[in-house]
Amino acid sequence: EQVENKTKGKLQKQICQVVLDHFEKQYTAELGDKWTSVRDVLTCPSCWQYAILLNKFSQSAELENTLRVKGYHLAFRGTLPYLPRSLKCYISRTPRRFPAQKHQTGKLKEYYLLNAASVLPVLALEVKDGEDVLDLCAAPGGKSVTILQCAYPGQFHCNEYDDLRSRWLKQTMESFIPDPLVNLITVSKQDGRQIGDFKPESYDKVLVDAPCSNDRSWLFSSDTQQAKLRLIQRKELSSLQFQLLRSAIKALRPGGSLVYSTCTLSKAENGDVINLILKSCANVMPVDISEMAKAVSQEFTFLCDTQQHELLVLPEKGKAWGPLYVAKLKKI
Ligand code: SAM
C-alpha cells in the first residue's frame, strides 16, 4: 500500500511494491547483475541528479557564476559536431536540487531542469541550421527547447496528441523562445501515427520521443490500482511505438534521419521495436551513433552489449542519468 511517509519533517516518496516486483523480474532477466545497481539509484530519490539546460535566448552570466560556485560544470563539451557550442547544460556529480523557474509573463525563462540523458536524443539527431524538423511527441517540450539551443531549423513542427499536454508544450515554447522565432514554430495536436500520411516526405529530421513505460516515475506510483493497470497496458506500448516510427519514416524525406528514444529499460519497447522496424521497412537503415556515445562517455554509464545504432543509459550513483534508450535510423 502507498502511504506518504514523514521522515525528518519531509514528505518522502514511497516505492510502489507491485511495480518494483514486476521490474525486478523483467530487468533481472534482461540486464542480469546490472539491474541491482540501477535499482539502487531508481529507488533512492535522494540520489537523483538534475541537469540545468541554459536558455541561449535569455543568457545570464550571474546564473552561470552561481552554478559554478555551487559545484556545477558544463557537460557535452568537446570538438565533435554532435556537441554544439551553443548548447550549455550544467551538471553536478553530487545530487542536489536547483529550484525550478516559475512562469512570468513577458519574461523568458533562463533555464530548464532535466535529466541530462534527455539531451542525448537531440545530439544524436544532429539538426543543422535550415533543416526541416518534426518533433512527433513533443510535450512538455524539453527536447524541442534543446533542439533550438543547438540549431535554427528551417521549419520546426512540434506535435503532441494530448490536449492538455499540447497546451503545456505551447507554454514551454512561449517561456523559452523569443518573438519572432516562436511564431515560426508550428505546434500541432495530431495523432502522431497519422502525420506521415498528412505530411509525407516533408522533413529532414524527425524525433520520436515515444510514449513509454516511465520506469523512474512508475516506481513511485501513489495509486496501486492505477499502477497495476499500467503494467497490464504496458504490453500495448510496443505496437503504438512501432506505428509512430512507421509514421515518422513516411514523414522523412529520402536521405533524412530519425531518432527514437524512450525512458524505459524495457527491451520490448527499445531494441525489439527498432529491430521490427528494420525488418519490416526496406527503406530504412541503422546509423552508427557509437562515436557520439564515446564523446559523452565521461558523464554517462551505457549498457555495453548494444549495437552501434543504439545506446541505453543506465543510472548509476554519481551519474544518476537515465534510464534512456536512443536509436538512430536513416531513410534511404
Ligand atoms: N519529448 C518530450 C520532452 O522532451 O519534453 C516528452 C515526450 S513524452 C516521453 C511522450 C509524449 O507522447 C507524451 O506527452 C504523450 O502524451 C505523447 N503521445 C502519446 N501518444 C501519442 C500519439 N499517438 N501521437 C503523438 N503524441 C503522443
**pTM metric for this prediction:** 0.96
Closest ligand 1 atom, residue 211 Cα: 10
- pLDDT for res 1: 29
Q: Which of 119, 147, 162, 250 to mutate to test the pocket of ligand 1 (most atoms within 8 A of CB)?
A: 162
The single residue listed with the C-alpha cell 496501486 is 224
pLDDT of residue 10: 52
281 catalytic? Reply is no
Q: Among 127, 178, 120, which residue's Cα sits nearest to residue 153?
A: 127
Ligand 1 centroid–CA 100 distance in Å is 22
Q: Cα(94) to centroid of ligand 1, in Å?
A: 30
Interface confidence (ipTM) of the complex:
1.00
10-residue stretch averages of pLDDT, the chain, 332 residues long:
41 89 98 97 95 97 96 90 91 89 89 97 97 98 98 98 98 95 95 98 98 97 96 97 98 98 98 98 98 94 96 96 98 98
Please tell me the predicted confidence (pLDDT) of residue 211.
98
Question: What is the pLDDT, as a whole number, of residue 157?
Answer: 98
The values of phi and psi at residue 311, to 5°, are -150, 155
Pocket of ligand 1 (CB under 6 A): 118, 137-143, 159-162, 165, 191-193, 209, 211
Take atom 16 of ligand 1 and give the residue whose Cα is closest.
Answer: 162
How far is the C-alpha of 82 from the C-alpha of 101, rounded, in Å?
Answer: 28
* CA dist., res. 120 & res. 248, Å (int): 19
Marked catalytic residue, from 89, 263, 281, 304: 263
Peptide bond connecting 178 to the previous residue in cis, omega within 30 degrees of 0: no
CA of 189 to the centre of ligand 1 (A): 11
The grid coordinates listed for 94 are: 553530487
70 Cα–ligand 1 center, Å: 33
pLDDT at 139 (0 to 100): 98
Residue 185's nearest CA partner among 175, 194, 198 is 175
Atom 17 of ligand 1, nearest CA residue: 137
Instruction: Using DSSP, state whether 208 is helix, strand or coil.
Output: strand
**Index of the ligand 1 atom closest to the CA of residue 263:** 9
